[in-house]
Every structure is written in structure tokens, then in C-alpha cells.
Structure 1
Amino acid sequence: MHEPRPEGAVTDFFREVQEDLQRDRLLKLWKRFRYPLLGLIVAIVAAVIVIVVLKDAGDARNEKDGGRYAEASKLLSDGKDGEAAKAFNALASEATGGYAALARLREADIKAKGGDVDGAVAALDALAKDNRVDRVYRDLAGLIAAERLIDKAPLEDIMSRLSHLLAPDSSWRWLATELKGVAELKAGKTEEARATFTELVENSATAAGVRFRAAELLSGLGGPLIKKDAAAAPDGAQPAKTGSEAEAKPAEAPAAEAKPADSAPAAEGDQ
């Protein structure tokens, strides 16, 4: 016969089960947010395309590349993914500047859409490390690569792609911080995730859409993390309620999300 578990071990066991169930529930909630987030990234890429077109207007070579990019995009919208991938690959090899970088992003997206996530991440990593490419494209490639790896890579791999995007001067710091929190949650680092989402919710500069999603996830983690130096309320003050006392109220869904950091192109869209 198996010997009965000590009482403390039983308590630990049930706590672990409860934490696993909580994490699974929150990750399901994240999946609801994931598709709008991917849509946002696509919108950012589209905005960058507009910037490239305006910047390169009047340049015969770039106008030709723009035409090729439009043709490849039409193939993709018509459901001809294979032909579109070949067209984007050729453009990435032969074009220069923004259109070459955008073609590489779109080709990677087609790979991921077709189930080749590893191939997509490899292509994105190569773009992110290519110093010949403008930083805005390299950073965007790193952000997308991290998002693609959320379901399949250890936290260390994801953070290796996000770490420099968390800097105050990064155009993508809010989205990068959000992905950091989700990766921590998925890795079982609940308190770290709670601290990350608390940072997003309490920072007045956080993009509205990111704050909304962070608040939703944070409400399932017992509310904002109270810092030790703020845990003791002053005389007569009522301590903040957390956990089972009161769930954090989710932020109202924004009508329009805030723009990326000032260093990003103005037309990149809201986060």
C-alpha cells in the first residue's frame, strides 16, 4: 500500500493543481487576445508599407519594387500562398531598402501560416540580426519571432528576442512587455507575470490596448502586485483589497488604442 501523503504535501499538491488550472484558464483568455494582437502587428506592417511608399515616391527603382510588392500581396490575398511566397522571396533578394525588409516579413508570415513556425522564426531571426536593415524592421522581426514562439519555446529563448525591446527608447516596449508577461505565465512563473502585468496597468504611459489586456489577465491573478514598501498602509488608510477580497476590475475596452513610442513612425498604428 502507498503510504498516505503528509498533510503539508497534500496541501501543496492541491495548491499546485489550483495554480495549473488558473494558468490554463488565463492562457485560454490570452488566446482570445492573441488574434487581435496578430492583427495589430499586421496593421503595423501595413502602416510601415505606407511610410515606405511615401518615402520612396519618385524613385524609379523603388516604384518598380513597390509594384512587385503589390503584385505579391495580390497573390496572397487571392489565396495563392505558394506563388506569393516565391514572389516575396524574389523581391527580398533583388530589392533594396524597405521593400526588401517587408518582403522578408511577409514571406516569414506565409511560412508560419502554413505551419512551418520554425522556418518562420529562422527567417525572422535572420532579419532581426541583419545590420544592413533599418532598426524598425529588425525590431519588428524580433517581436514577431517572440510571439510565434510563445507556445513552443522556453522562456529564455523568448526573452533573448525581447530583452532589447523592453528598453525605454524602444518603439515596441509595450507589446514586448505584454509578451514577456504571457511568456512568464506560460512558464509557470506566476508572480513574475503578475509583476509584469502590474507594471503595465499602473504605468500611465502604457498603450491603452496593452493596458486593457494586461488588466484582464491581472484580474485572474488576484489583482495588482503590492510592493513591500507600499504594503503597510498609513494610519487611517484602508489597505487595497486583493485576491479573494476583490478581483481587479478589468479596464474598459478602448475605442482606439494608443500609438507606439515616439521613436516609431507616426503611422505605425495603435498598440
Structure 2
Amino acid sequence: MREVDEELRRDELANLWKRWGRALLAAIAVGLIALAAFLWWRDYQGKQAGEEGQKLSAAIDQLSRGSIDPALPALRELGTSSRAGYRAAARLASGAIAAQRGDAKTAVADFAAVAKDDSAGQPFRDLALIRQTTIEFDTLPPDQVIARMQPLAQKGSPWFGSAGELVAVAQLKAGKPSDAGATFAALAADANVPPSIRSRAAQMASVLGVDINPAAQPSLTR
């Protein structure tokens, strides 16, 4: 009986192997190929990230030495990178170069691309939006400038100085001197705002008839 039982089990295993053996081998092969592809892709991505980091570092070094044209090819290439950080940094640098050279259209396109990039870090996006708005300021309705900058023009925001100044000037342009004066006064009184912006804000608030505490005004003496 034992021999018959073992023979039956062998027959069942043989039938199962005939029916599913190839499918099982194929599944194992596919799994191994997928694992190998994943390991290769992870290694490739790591190498690519290292190479792009070196390219960005070299381009920044060239810019710091005033070698703008030699840095541009690397910045344009990195501007299409699949890595959001490198892509944003490269397009910010390209936009700054275009703005410096008077190419407002290219600069706005670069800054707008970063500002709209949901995968980029928020500091990159905020900076890009401020730079874009600064260049477009004369062509935008004041209310649009205010709407863009208002979220960044809040006390405690790292962008309060730059964004707040744009809001205040837009308020003046919109015929709202009282609002502009209040915004300038807030900028002048905030010790975290850069001294140059605080100084301008204090002067503008004074012109608009808003008193500023002298102790709150920055000293620009060296």
C-alpha cells in the first residue's frame, strides 16, 4: 500500500510539473530579471546623480569666476534633469544669467518653469516666483502682483523683505497709499528684513506720512 501511495504521489507531482513547471520557471526568471533590473537602475541612478552633481558644481564654480558662457551648456543640460533639485538650481542660474543680459523672455520662462514645478523644493519655487514677478512687474496689473506675493509677504516668512517690497510698490501703483505705507512700515520695523530693504521701506513710509520708530531703522554705516 505504501508503494502504491508513493507511486500515486509521484504521478501527481509529475502531472503538476508538466502542467505548471514551465510557468513556475518563467515566473522565477521574470522575478530574477526584475530584481537585476532594479539593482542596475539604482546603481545607474546613483552614478548619474553623482555625475550631475559634479557638473552643477563645476558650472557654479565657473560662474563664480565670471566664466558665464562656458557654464551655460551644463546648465541647459541640467535644466532638463529628472532630478528636481538639480533641474531647479540649473534653471534658476540660467534665468539669472538671462536677466542679467537683458533677455527678459528667457529669464521669465526659466523662473516660471521652476515656480510651477511641483516636484521642486518650496524654497526654489518661492525664489523663482519672486524673480519672475520682479521681471514682469511693469507688465502685470498691480492686483496680480499683490495676489502672487501676498502669501510670501507675511511677517516671519524668509521672503518677507523681497515679497513685501513688491507688494508695497504694487499697492502704490494701484492707488492705495495707506496700504502701501503700512506695508513699508512693517518692513522697516522687522529686524529680520535685509538692511537695504528696511532702509528703503523707512524712507517710503516717511514719504507716505507713516511714522517709523528710529530705533527700528537699520544702520547702513560700516
Query: Which residue in the other structure is 2:136 paired with?
Result: 149
Instruction: Using CA pairs under 8 Å that are at least 6 residues apart, name the structure with larger relative contact order, 1 or 2.
Output: 1
Letter of the 1:207 counterpart = V
> Do residues 126 (structure 1) and 113 (structure 2) align?
yes
Percent identical across equivalent pairs? 33
Q: Indicate conservation of the 8 Å contact 1:194/1:224, yes or no.
A: no
How has the CA–CA distance of structure 1 residues 104 and 181 changed in structure 2, closer, same or farther, with 3 Å as cutoff? same
> Do residues 223 (structure 1) and 199 (structure 2) align?
no
How has the CA–CA distance of structure 1 residues 156 and 123 changed in structure 2, closer, same or farther, with 3 Å as cutoff? farther
> Do residues 101 (structure 1) and 84 (structure 2) align?
no
Distance 2:127 2:210 in 1: 31
Query: What's the offset of the Cα at 1:108?
Result: 0.9
Query: Which residue in the other structure is 1:70 paired with?
Result: 57
Match of 1:140 among 122, 127, 130: 127
What are the ranges of 5 or more consecutive residues in structure 1 without an aligned counterpart? 1-58, 226-239, 241-247, 257-271
Query: Which residue in the other structure is 1:91 paired with?
Result: 78
Letter of the 1:93 counterpart = T
Aligned residues: 176
1:9-24 aligned within 5 A:
none
Q: Indicate conservation of the 8 Å contact 2:188/2:216, yes or no.
A: no
Letter of the 1:140 counterpart = L
Higher helix share: 2
Report the aligned-residue RMSD.
3.2
Distance 1:189 1:249 in 2: 27
Letter of the 1:88 counterpart = L
TM-score by length of 2: 0.64
How has the CA–CA distance of structure 1 residues 89 and 212 changed in structure 2, closer, same or farther, with 3 Å as cutoff? same
Letter of the 2:78 counterpart = L
1:209-220 aligned within 5 A:
209=195, 210-220=197-207
> Do residues 251 (structure 1) and 214 (structure 2) align?
no
Question: Higher Cα Rg: structure 1 or 2?
Answer: 2
TM-score by length of 1: 0.54
Distance 2:107 2:144 in 1: 15
1:186-225 aligned within 5 A:
186-202=173-189, 204=190, 206-207=192-193, 209=195, 210-224=197-211
Distance 1:120 1:208 in 2: 24
> Do residues 185 (structure 1) and 172 (structure 2) align?
yes
